[in-house]
């Protein structure tokens, strides 16, 4: 056994003596029962969660350089892509990851719908899942504006136009989302706050509920 492995074992032994973590880790992680017939389709939810974690990690790295200011947003993203070591890779992973996460959440939902797993006692799994789907789409939409390119500008313009179809309140909602009559630096600041605080916070909260409910009912397949 290497010196590092010995040291880890000794430290973990001491921690375990005090906090008795091994049974908890074994029950929840290393000796957990899973369905015998686990297929790829059964992993879409877990994969979406994995991508979410990658998005949080790469998002925090990007935040170290990003400026949510109309004058400097584009420059700050260009700086990350061309001057920061591995910055282009982190930025690419974050933007491609968003697409993968949406695709995986849709595939996960399609499987649940096809196998009719939304029926009693899993109705709340479905409802919390629908909130997660909406939050995932909104995360991608708000993030799309942040690089402040022509594409992001027009994407946000078209996207924020949609609520104008709501009777009576439509125009009011559009102005509320845009923080004014048109897409401007105010919109960028608002989207930034929603993208890095509101939506990730909501997503984590609903994900915890989603996972707790899955633990309560157990997975729909026999273990």
Residue numbers at the binding site for ligand HEM (CB under 6 A): 42, 44-46, 48-49, 52, 105, 108-109, 112, 117-118, 122, 125-126, 129-130, 132-133, 136, 207, 210, 214, 219-220
Residue nearest ligand HEM, CB atom distance: 129
The residues, any chain, with a CB within 8 Å of residue 131's CB and separated by 6 or more, are 202, 206
Nearer to ligand HEM, 94 or 122 (CB): 122
Minimum Å gap between C-beta 131 and ligand HEM is: 8
DSSP E strands, 21-177:
none
The residues, any chain, with a CB within 8 Å of residue 111's CB and separated by 6 or more, are 41, 42, 44, 117
Minimum Å gap between C-beta 211 and ligand HEM is: 7
Nearer to ligand HEM, 20 or 215 (CB): 215
Give the separation between CA 9 and CA 3, rounded to whole angstroms: 10
Token pair listed for 130: 């629908």
Nearer to ligand HEM, 45 or 143 (CB): 45
Nearer to ligand HEM, 103 or 133 (CB): 133
Give the separation between CA 198 and CA 139, rounded to whole angstroms: 10
Minimum Å gap between C-beta 33 and ligand HEM is: 13
Give the separation between CA 110 and CA 105, rounded to whole angstroms: 9
């Amino acid at each position: 056994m290497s010196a590092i492995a010995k040291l880890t074992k000794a430290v973990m032994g001491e921690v375990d003596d005090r906090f008795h973590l091994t049974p908890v880790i074994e029950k929840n992680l290393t000796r957990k029962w899973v369905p015998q017939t686990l297929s790829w389709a059964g992993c879409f939810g877990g994969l979406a969660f994995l991508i979410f974690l990658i998005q949080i990690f790469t998002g925090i790295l990007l935040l170290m350089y990003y400026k949510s200011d109309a004058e400097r947003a584009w420059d700050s993203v260009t700086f990350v892509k061309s001057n920061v070591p591995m910055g282009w890779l982190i930025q690419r992973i974050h933007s491609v990851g968003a697409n993968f996460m949406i695709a995986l959440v849709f595939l996960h939902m399609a499987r649940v719908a096809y196998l009719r797993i939304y029926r009693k006692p899993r109705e709340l799994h479905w409802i919390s899942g629908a909130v997660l789907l909406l939050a995932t789409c909104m995360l991608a939409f708000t993030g799309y504006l942040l690089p402040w390119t022509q594409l992001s500008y027009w994407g946000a313009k078209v996207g924020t136009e949609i609520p104008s179809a709501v009777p009576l309140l439509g125009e009011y909602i559009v102005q509320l989302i845009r923080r004014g009559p048109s897409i401007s630096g105010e919109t960028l600041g608002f989207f930034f706050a929603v993208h890095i605080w509101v939506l990730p916070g909501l997503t984590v909260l609903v994900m915890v509920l989603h996972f707790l409910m899955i633990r309560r009912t157990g997975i729909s397949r026999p273990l």
